[in-house]
Amino acid sequence: MKVKSKLADIDFEFGRFEYKKDHLIVHSHESQSMQSKVYISPNDVLAALGKALVNPMVWVYIVGFPFFLIRYRRRHARKKEAR
């Protein structure tokens, strides 16, 4: 997953998950140079779902996901072959 902001561009790889004090904590993968944690509250989940479900592009992405996945993997396989 890529996280882009004015402060930094980060490739975030999921590591382990943890539950603590009503929060889901997502740790970055151990192999990443910049270790980070993402704290997700129940309100964050509801807010994200609420915004996602009313956005038509999210539905397009969900319905087209198998196609997007295959296309994504083929592109990355070609890039690796070209190196």
58 found inside a domain: no
Residue 13 in contact with residue 5, Cβ under 8 Å? no
Helix (H, G, I), strand (E, B) or coil at 49: helix
53 found inside a domain: no
Domain with 29, as residue range(s), is 1-40
19 found inside a domain: yes
Question: Phi-psi bin for 54: left (phi > 0), alpha (psi -120 to 50), beta?
Answer: alpha
83 has pLDDT over 80: no
Q: What is the pLDDT of residues 10-59, one digit of tens each?
A: 788 899 999 999 999 999 998 887 788 999 999 999 999 999 999 999 99
Helix/strand/coil percent split, the chain, to 5: 45, 30, 25
> Could you tell me the strand order of the sheet in which 14-20 lies?
14-20, 23-28, 37-40
35 found inside a domain: yes
Instruction: Give the count of domains, the chain.
Output: 1
